[in-house]
Structure 1
Amino acid sequence: VGGLENVVTPPYDIISEEQQKQYYEKHPNNVIRLEYGAEYETDSESDNRYTRAAAFLRTWIDDGILKFEDKECLYLYEQQFSFLGQELTYRGFVTLTQLEEFSKGIILPHEETLSKAKTDRFNLMEATHANFSQIYCLYMDESGDIRSMMEQITKKPADISFTAENDILQNVWIIRDDDMIASIQKKFADKQLFIADGHHRYETALNFRNKMREENPGWKEDDLFNYVMMMLVDMDDPGLVVFPTHRLVNHVKIDEVMAISLLKDDFDIDKIIVDTKPSMLSEAIAKDLVALKEKKGFAVYFGGEYYYRLSLHDASVMDQYLPEKSSAYRNLDVTILHTLVLDKIYGINTEDLKNQKNLTYTRDPLEAIEAVQNGTQQCAFLLNATKVREIKDVSLAGEKMPQKSTYFYPKLITGIVMNKF
Structure 2
Amino acid sequence: MAEILPIKAWRYKEELSQSIEELTSPLFDVVSAKQREALYQNPINSIHLSVPRGDKPADTAADMLQEWKATGTIVQDPLPGIYVYYQYFRLPGNEREYCRKGFICHIKAYDWNEGVLLRHENTIPSAVNDRIDLLDKTLMNTSATHGLYTDPDFVLERYMDESIQSPLYVTEDYQGVRDVLAVIHDHDVIRHFLEVLESRQVLLADGHHRYEGSLEYRKKRMADNPNHTGKEAYNYHLMYLTNTEADDLRILPTHRVLENIDLSDEEFLERLRAYFVVTPKEDAYELNEVIVGKNWAFGLYLSGNAYKLRLKPEVHHLIDWPVPQEVKDLDLTVMHFFVFEKVLGIGREAQRDYPGLSYVRNFTACVSQVDSGKARLALITNEVSMEQVKRVCYSGAIMPQKSTFFYPKTICGFLFSSIKENEFISSDTACL
Q: TM-score, normalised by structure 2?
A: 0.89
User: Does residue 32 in structure 1 map to residue 47 in structure 2?
Assistant: yes
Quote the offset at 1:389 in angstroms: 1.4
Give the one of 47, 68, 93 matched to 2:103.
93
Aligned pairs, how many? Answer: 401
Q: Which residue of 2 aligns with 1:278?
A: none
Quote the Cα distance in structure 1 between the aligned partners of 2:105 and 2:320: 38
Quote the Cα distance in structure 1 between the aligned partners of 2:22 and 2:322: 50
Q: 1:38 to 1:75 in 2, by over 3 A?
A: same
Letter of the aligned partner of 2:387 in structure 1?
R
Give the one of 134, 139, 144 matched to 2:144.
134
User: 1:108·1:194 contact (CA, 8 Å) conserved in 2?
Assistant: yes
Residue pairs, 1:346-365, within 5 angstroms:
346-365=344-363
Segments of 5+ residues of structure 2 without an aligned counterpart are: 1-15, 420-432
Q: 1:170 to 1:356 in 2, by over 3 A?
A: same
User: 1:269·1:311 contact (CA, 8 Å) conserved in 2?
Assistant: yes
Quote the Cα distance in structure 1 between the aligned partners of 2:416 and 2:194: 20
Q: Which residue of 2 aligns with 1:371?
A: 369
Residue pairs, 1:287-306, within 5 angstroms:
287-290=289-292, 293-304=293-304, 306=305
Deviations 1:301-359 (A, max 9, x none): 1133x411111221x63333237422221111110000011110001222322222342
User: 1:111·1:400 contact (CA, 8 Å) conserved in 2?
Assistant: yes
Of 204-213 and 252-261, more deviation after overlay is shown by 252-261
Quote the offset at 1:125 in angstroms: 0.6
Quote the Cα distance in structure 2 between the aligned partners of 1:253 and 1:51: 42
Q: 1:358 to 1:234 in 2, by over 3 A?
A: same
Q: Which residue of 2 aligns with 1:333?
A: 331
Segments of 5+ residues of structure 1 without an aligned counterpart are: 275-280
Deviations 1:274-298 (A, max 9, x none): 2xxxxxx22x1122122xx233211
Q: Which residue of 2 aligns with 1:225?
A: 234
Quote the Cα distance in structure 2 between the aligned partners of 1:272 and 1:68: 57
Deviations 1:141-164 (A, max 9, x none): 12222233333433x322322222
User: 1:348·1:358 contact (CA, 8 Å) conserved in 2?
Assistant: no
Letter of the aligned partner of 1:113 in structure 2?
T
User: 2:49·2:142 contact (CA, 8 Å) conserved in 1?
Assistant: yes
User: 2:251·2:386 contact (CA, 8 Å) conserved in 1?
Assistant: yes
Deviations 1:199-227 (A, max 9, x none): 11111101101111122221332211100
Q: Which residue of 1 aligns with 2:312?
A: 313
- Of all paired residues, the percent bearing the same amino acid is 27
Q: Which residue of 2 aligns with 1:322?
A: 320
Give the one of 195, 201, 205 matched to 2:210.
201
User: 2:53·2:60 contact (CA, 8 Å) conserved in 1?
Assistant: no
Q: TM-score, normalised by structure 1?
A: 0.91
Quote the offset at 1:419 in angstroms: 0.8
Match of 1:395, SS state, is helix
Of 336-345 and 58-67, more deviation after overlay is shown by 58-67
Letter of the aligned partner of 1:312 in structure 2?
L
User: 1:20·1:38 contact (CA, 8 Å) conserved in 2?
Assistant: no
Match of 2:412, SS state, is coil
Q: Which residue of 2 aligns with 1:415?
A: 413
Quote the Cα distance in structure 1 between the aligned partners of 2:85 and 2:318: 45
User: Does residue 255 in structure 1 map to residue 270 in structure 2?
Assistant: no
Q: Over aligned residue pairs, what C-alpha RMSD do you find?
A: 1.6
Of 145-154 and 295-304, more deviation after overlay is shown by 145-154
Q: Which residue of 1 aligns with 2:85?
A: 77
Letter of the aligned partner of 2:227 in structure 1?
G
